Amino acid sequence: MLPFGFSSPLPQSGFSPFSPLGALRTNKDSKDSMETILIVEDNAIVMESIAESLRVNGYNVLQALNGLEAIPLAQTHLPHVILSDIMMDGMDGYTLLNELRKDPATALIPFLFMSAKTDFDDIRFAMNLGADDYITKPFTPTSLVTTIKTRLSKHAMMQSAVHDKIKQLTENLAYAMPHELRTPMTAIMGCADLIKRNLDPLNTEEILLCSELIDTSVRRLYRLIEQFNHYAQLTLIEADAARRKQLYSQLTMYSGDTIREFTLEEATRNGRNHDIAIEDNIGDAILPIKPYYLEMIVREVLNNAFKFSPQDSPIRIVLSKTAEHYSIIVQDKGRGISKQHIRSIEAFTQFDRQQYEQQGVGLGLALVRKILDLYSGKFLIQSEQGAGTTVQLTLPLEAPFFST
């Protein structure tokens, strides 16, 4: 048995020289139920040898002599795996991989290079381009099939994880969204009905109570809408280099005073003035972030500290500068967050909602993380259940340089 990468004549029967004892080619009831492999190889004999062995192992096979032939096949048939040589006329394997990664329909198909180029730099270059694996020629049919099975298994695991995430997201939205919309709207409608039915008998105190309830409910709805809007806008900015550059069009001056001002404002709104302690070690430093986004991330973290810690428990804010970054630390003595939940922080995810009544749909900390990612900052959480949580937000010392 010759390994792939060497030329040898093929028999004319249905037997393969690359399977033990010349095993018969297996056929399934339908090709639609078979996993499809696209082979891209400019040596017709080697390509047919690989194709024969894959058919013996139950795979449906597509064949192309170069990248130009492979692209329409990949786009039309969406194979489960693509095996490609590197050095080919017309379009080489590197260019083929780049072109397929540009198309959302083919971008996630597992792509394996097979080549006689065995230098570490060649392999590393191919992997850095986004290849899923690299098989050096010559190789045996057994090792090829094993590699394909491994890639298919990993891809299936990734698809399953994505499906689970989508399912979890759907469940989170289905659970939280109706509650978040219904609760304030019920309060508004109730107050409106009360005023409409009892306009004359209502005294000033009752009218004031209704107006405060309406104001609170409207603000809750407004905050929810704003969070959705911010998250959508930030997602668009992530994919647009020009808009990312504009993030630095305005920096935060006198950052210590600025943070102190809206921290105390947020504490007053939550009735926690006496719980706040601020340690300011940055003073009038200029932070490389728009004041609008700085205020947003600090307010979101503060809101979580207020929400998940009891009244009369301390909340400490520490502003500092190190040799590498600016740091904002918010520390509370609340119920804490489990390590599993910390790893799961993302949009539309709330923790223990069935156990604890809480507002929101889980966008707050996801917004914080997304903003800091855009500004090359970091979002770190240390927590101990029952003892409290420490959140650290870091930003680089200076805005990045953009060449014109």
Same structural domain, 28 and 93: yes
If asked whether residues 85 and 187 sit together in one domain, one would say no
- When comparing pLDDT for 243 and 52, which is higher? 52
Burial class (CB in 10 A: 0-12, 13-18, 19+), 39: buried
Does residue 335 come out as left (phi exceeding 0), alpha (psi in the -120 to 50 range) or beta? alpha
- Measured over the CA atoms of residue 363, residue 364, residue 369 and residue 375, the dihedral's sign is positive
Residue with tokens 């926690």: 272
- pLDDT value of residue 401: 61
Are residues 193 and 223 part of one domain?
yes
Pick the residue with more confidence: 161 or 84?
A: 84
Q: Which of 53-67, 230-244, 271-285, 334-348 has the lowest mean pLDDT?
A: 334-348
The residue among 18 and 97 whose pLDDT is bigger is 97
pLDDT, one tens digit per residue, over 301-324 is 998 899 889 999 999 999 999 988
Position 347 in a domain: yes
Among 31-45, 188-202, 285-299, the least confident range: 188-202
pLDDT-derived band at 179, boundaries 50, 70, 90: low
* Distances 142 to 1, 2, 50 between C-alpha atoms, Å: 11, 12, 11
Q: Is residue 164 part of a domain?
A: no
Full DSSP string of 331-383: EE-SS---HHHHHT--TT--SSTTTS---S-S-HHHHHHHHHHHTT-EEEEEE
Cα–Cα distances (Å) from 293 to 228, 248, 251, in that order, read 15, 11, 10
pLDDT digits (tens, 9 = 90+) for 342-374: 666 554 444 444 444 444 446 778 888 889 999
Residue 393 clears pLDDT 90, i.e. is over it: yes
pTM of the model: 0.52
- Is 147 inside any structural domain? no
Q: Are 333 and 292 in contact (CB under 8 A)?
A: no
The DSSP line for 113-164 is EEES---HHHHHHHHHHT-SEEEESSB-HHHHHHHHHHHHHHHHHHHHHHHH
Q: How many domains does the chain have?
A: 3
Domain that holds residue 100: 20-139
Q: How far apart are CA 234 and CA 237, in angstroms?
A: 5
CATH number of residue 261's parent domain: 3.30.565.10
82 belongs to a structural domain: yes
* Residue whose tokens read 């991330």: 297
Q: Which residue has the higher pLDDT, 394 or 229?
A: 394
Q: Indicate whether 389 pLDDT > 60.
A: yes
Confidence at residue 206, expressed as pLDDT on a 0 to 100 scale: 77
Same domain, 222 and 249: no
Q: How far apart are CA 5 and CA 43, in angstroms?
A: 9
Please state, rounded to an integer, the average pLDDT across all residues of the chain: 80
Question: Within this chain, do residues 226 and 271 fall inside the same structural domain, yes or no?
Answer: no
pLDDT, position 335:
84
